[in-house]
Amino acid sequence: MRDGLRAAADVAAAHLDGVAARPVWQSMPEQVRAALLDAPLPETGRAVGELLDEAERRVLAYPMGNGHPAFFGWVNAAPHPAAVAAGLLASASNPSSAGGDHADVPLERAVVRWLAQLVGFPHEIGAGLLTSGASMATIVAIGAARHRALERAGWDVREKGLAGAPELTAYATAEAHSCVRKAIELLGIGSRALRTVPERVEKVGDAGDGPVSAGMDVEALRELIAQDRAAGRVPFLVVASAGTVNTGAIDPLDQIADVCGSPGGEGGVWLHIDGAYGAFGAVDAQMSARYAGMARADSLALDPHKWLQVPIGVGALLVADRELLRSAFSLVPPYLRDESGDALGWLSEYGIEQTRQFRALPVWASIAARGRAGVAADVAACNETARALARIVEETPDLELAAPVELSIVAFRYAPAGVAPEQVDEVNAALPAAIQERGAAFVTGSVYQGRPVLRACVLNPATREEHARLLVAEAQAAGAELLVGATAH
């Protein structure tokens, strides 16, 4: 048993050590993919050492690429080594963090408080929980918002469901993450009830010619809510972004909070802030003022498995009202009755999962290994690299920024002079895959303001200006190649 675990630690260490020396990503050879896909169910067992060999050869050799300093894709971080190590201990300890009198439970309450303290969200003990990710945190938050709004309207949604209930409406911009709509659909509210709030568009850029969103248009939000109220509907939820996934933009949180009213205030609309990616940006002293108003939200989703570099599988929800969360979800049958006398009850009373993974230990390790100062330095390093990337993009003739850079996401496009906009769009839509294929840098794409863009996200403090230069060089080279192809037909 010890030999197996030591060998696993060696394989993991060798993997992390060697990341930067390998290509950031490469497509899997067909036979390797087939061997995994078609692996027969084994009749008999094998030694752990053999399994680790196979895992190293067939699995670890073909990673997604996050972990490499030239990885700029999606919102996926490099794992912090302290959190990787702690993950092994969490598995070995293997409690169900549903609740009870064991160490993982107070540890989860403490790290949830740490998260709140890191980003500056007011916190009473127990007012939040760790989840599988921000999508799950969003479902829990919107479930609680739905419960509160209908309870105030005299309707017990837990007992009666939604058929015949007052008609709920929710508000977010087109830049809100898809998990918001998914949650609205899943909770039976229906995406028709999710109003798209326009964004305030400003002209920026050197030539003043780029239409760029300045976040949610607060006056438009106010109007939409008033219209729905006048029509007898129940506006119950506003979702604001503290760092959009496309451009890292932060909505005007303080003004949105004014529209929603204070947490728990009668007649108030629940303000949920999606800080899955961006909430941790608040630990960078240079950025914290941009988050004014975040502390006034009813709930905040944030993802330790992104900027906090906890291995994937950990999101978090913070709420202003602990008891409200509990009343939306608590269901304690006799076989789960808590005899420990803990007044907060079980963590499973505050969300959807019953048997819960021990997520707190890797979060604890990721923060404790660095302290607040270390986390802040790492976040600031990512923001600095993103600003460097933005500067290099602006200095590079064939490239242009698609949006201003607030945090560590840079949206840009390949746009050489004299090329028709349709052709520019065609090239940019094909560019992420072309850059990925080259194997030196990894970036993904999106559509912003109706046009394809490259979007680079920096979550790894080891990603530095040299990697930003590499990405720009790769974008230029791949763009030029694609352009030749595009003009040839």
Report the site for ligand PLP in 168-187 (rule: CB under 6 A): 177, 179
Among 126, 268, 281, 315, binds ligand PLP (CB under 6 A): 315
Least CB distance to ligand PLP at residue 212 (A): 18
Residue 348 · residue 68 · CB < 8 Å: no
Least CB distance to ligand PLP at residue 245 (A): 4
Q: How many residues bind ligand PLP (CB under 6 A)?
A: 12
Least CB distance to ligand PLP at residue 435 (A): 21
Sign of the four-CA dihedral 223, 224, 225, 230 = positive
Nearer to ligand PLP, 177 or 413 (CB): 177
* Residue 412 identity: F
As a whole number of angstroms, the distance between CA 488 and CA 470 comes to: 27
Is 277 one of the binding residues for ligand PLP (CB under 6 A)? yes
Report the site for ligand PLP in 190-249 (rule: CB under 6 A): 245
Q: What Cα–Cα distance (Å) separates residue 220 from each residue in 47, 223, 243?
A: 64, 5, 20
Residue 163 · residue 379 · CB < 8 Å: no
Nearer to ligand PLP, 402 or 482 (CB): 402
Is 399 one of the binding residues for ligand PLP (CB under 6 A)? no
Sign of the four-CA dihedral 158, 161, 164, 169 = positive
Nearer to ligand PLP, 280 or 329 (CB): 280
- Ramachandran angles phi, psi of 72, nearest 5°: -120, 15
Least CB distance to ligand PLP at residue 41 (A): 31
Nearer to ligand PLP, 150 or 403 (CB): 403
With tokens 């509907």, the residue in question is 233
Report the site for ligand PLP in 60-99 (rule: CB under 6 A): 75
Among 175, 217, 274, 400, binds ligand PLP (CB under 6 A): 274
Nearer to ligand PLP, 274 or 298 (CB): 274
Is 458 one of the binding residues for ligand PLP (CB under 6 A)? no
Q: Near ligand PLP by CB under 6 A, which window of 41-49, 129-137, 183-191, 480-488?
A: 129-137
Complete DSSP assignment for 455-485: EEE---TT--HHHHHHHHHHHHHHHHHHHHH
Is 304 one of the binding residues for ligand PLP (CB under 6 A)? no
Q: DSSP class of residue 174?
A: T
Least CB distance to ligand PLP at residue 315 (A): 5
Here's the x/- map for ligand PLP, 316-335, by CB under 6 A: it reads as: --------------------
Nearer to ligand PLP, 128 or 133 (CB): 133
Q: Give the residue at shortest CB distance from ligand PLP.
A: 133
β-strand pairing of 299-302 with 270-275: parallel
Residue 82 · residue 369 · CB < 8 Å: yes
Q: Which residues of 144-291 form beta strands (DSSP E)?
A: 168-172, 194-196, 199-204, 210-216, 234-241, 270-275
> Pick from 489, 475, 459: which is nearest to 71 by CA?
459
Task: Return the structure tokens found at 85.
Answer: 């190590």
Is 307 one of the binding residues for ligand PLP (CB under 6 A)? no
Is 281 one of the binding residues for ligand PLP (CB under 6 A)? no
Is 431 one of the binding residues for ligand PLP (CB under 6 A)? no
Q: DSSP class of residue 28?
A: P
Task: Return the structure tokens found at 446.
Answer: 């999106």
For ligand PLP, the binding residues (CB under 6 A) are: 75, 133-135, 177, 179, 245, 274, 276-277, 303, 315
